[in-house]
């Protein structure tokens, strides 16, 4: 309580309080700006590191043919590491270098973007996209549903 009263008196002093308040305001503003700049700098560094890792994975040149598990691991690292990627609703499988993507995504455009990005990953020979938006039947199930009706 005593310290608070001293601080109040310090900043409300009729002779020097105005300058002290102005200095405090400048110092607090500078600290806020420094914190914002540090946060932005960290964000840019993390974004650039992620982009560099994606480029390294996409352009890796293996000396021998890779097994499907290695290619699947690379696909998951690249795709599942993308910001906004629907990890919980999309699954990936690689057989003989052919990548099959299954699951539900927000839109047809997102499905196309994911399939396109997957096709650029080193080691993926072909991409079969069974991705579909909510409310639509999965492409591999459509023929079976039509046959039943």
Q: What is the pLDDT of residue 66?
A: 81
Q: Give the tokens for residue 19.
A: 């300058």
For the chain, the straight-line distance linking the first and the last C-alpha, in angstroms and rounded, comes to 80
Domain borders along the chain are 1-59, 65-148
Each residue's pLDDT tens digit, 7-63: 788 888 888 888 888 898 999 999 999 999 999 999 999 999 988 888 887 777 666
Mean pLDDT of the chain: 86
**Taking residues 65-93, what's their average pLDDT?**
89
Q: How far apart are CA 118 and CA 13, in angstroms?
A: 67
Q: What is the pLDDT of residue 104?
A: 92
Long-range contacts of 87-95 (CB under 8 A, 24+ apart): 90/114, 90/131, 92/118, 94/68, 94/69, 94/124, 95/68
- pTM beyond 0.75: no
More confident residue, 140 or 50: 50
Percent of the chain with pLDDT over 70: 90
> Would you identify the CATH topology of the domain 65-148?
3.30.1340
Sheet strands (E) in 7-96 = 90-95
Are 91 and 131 in contact, with CB atoms under 8 Å apart? no
């Amino acid at each position: 309580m005593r310290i608070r009263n001293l601080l109040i008196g310090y900043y409300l002093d009729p002779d020097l309080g105005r300058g002290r308040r102005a200095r405090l305001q400048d110092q607090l503003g500078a600290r806020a700006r420094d914190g914002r700049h540090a946060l932005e700098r960290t964000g840019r560094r993390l974004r650039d590191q992620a982009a560099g890792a994606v480029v390294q994975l996409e352009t890796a040149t293996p000396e021998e043919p890779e097994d499907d598990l290695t290619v699947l691991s690379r696909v998951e690292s690249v795709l599942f590491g993308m910001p906004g990627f629907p990890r919980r609703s999309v699954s990936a499988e690689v057989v003989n270098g052919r990548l099959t993507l299954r699951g539900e995504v927000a839109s047809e455009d997102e499905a196309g973007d994911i399939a396109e990005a997957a096709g650029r990953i080193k080691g993926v020979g072909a991409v079969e996209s069974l991705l579909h938006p909510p409310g639509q039947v999965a492409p591999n199930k459509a023929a079976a549903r039509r046959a039943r009706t």
